[in-house]
Structure 1
Amino acid sequence: MHVLNEWTALACKELGIDPAQVDRDKILDLTKEVAHNVARPAAPLTAYLLGLAQGAGTASEDAVARLVELAQKWERTSEKAD
């Protein structure tokens, strides 16, 4: 995790973000669920969309939890369709 900590700090500095505001584990859990249940390329896209919503002020406080739930339901929906 040392490299991940260094990268997070460097990226935050470059983007002008306070690293203390980044819940890395929460985002990693989100991307894991999306990659596993939806599609691997959907994981970084979802993280980007979440970032856009956060920046625009349109993301709810429970946005990550709601996205995780959507990803988990996606698997169940696609399994029923098969």
Structure 2
Amino acid sequence: MDDRQRLLQDWTETLLTAFEIDGTNVDIDAVLGLAGKAAHGVVRPAAPLTTFVAGYAAGLAVGSGQADEQVAMRSAMAVADALCSEAATGGAAE
């Protein structure tokens, strides 16, 4: 693991601990990939907004019992990914 990956892993663990959700599996590469897709397919500031809303949607799904953690995260990220793809091709928000 390189220094950047270790820093991101440590930061993620710090956040999870601070929010008292230790043990949550965060696919850092998938989150960063979604952020990149939003930044390049929509507009740069869409990156943090997209990842926040996807995470929030996943949390709501888990909290309401609609899905378990992994399914909710995969589903929310897949929806956001599809919307970013649409936006990049001029189909959705611009």
TM-score normalised by L of structure 1: 0.79
Q: Which residue of 2 aligns with 1:26?
A: 30
Counterpart CA distance in 2 for 1:65 and 1:54 is 11
Alignment of 1:55-66 (within 5 A): 55-57=59-61, 61-66=74-79
1:62 counterpart SS class:
helix
Counterpart CA distance in 1 for 2:17 and 2:60 is 20
Displacement of 1:52: 1.6
User: RMSD in angstroms over aligned alpha carbons?
Assistant: 2.0
Give unmatched runs, 5+ long, in structure 2.
67-71
Which structure ranks higher in relative contact order (CA pairs < 8 Å, sequence separation ≥ 6)?
Answer: 1
59-68 or 48-57, which moves further after superposition? 59-68
Assess, with a 3 A threshold, how the Cα gap between structure 1 residues 60 and 14 changes in structure 2: closer, same or farther. Answer: closer
| Structure with the larger helix share | 1
Alignment of 1:1-80 (within 5 A): 1-57=5-61, 61-77=74-90
- Figure out how many residues of one structure are paired with residues of the other and give that number: 78
Q: Which runs of 4+ in 1 moved over 4 A?
A: 58-61
8 Å contact from structure 1 (residues 8, 19) kept in 2 = no
Counterpart CA distance in 1 for 2:25 and 2:73 is 16
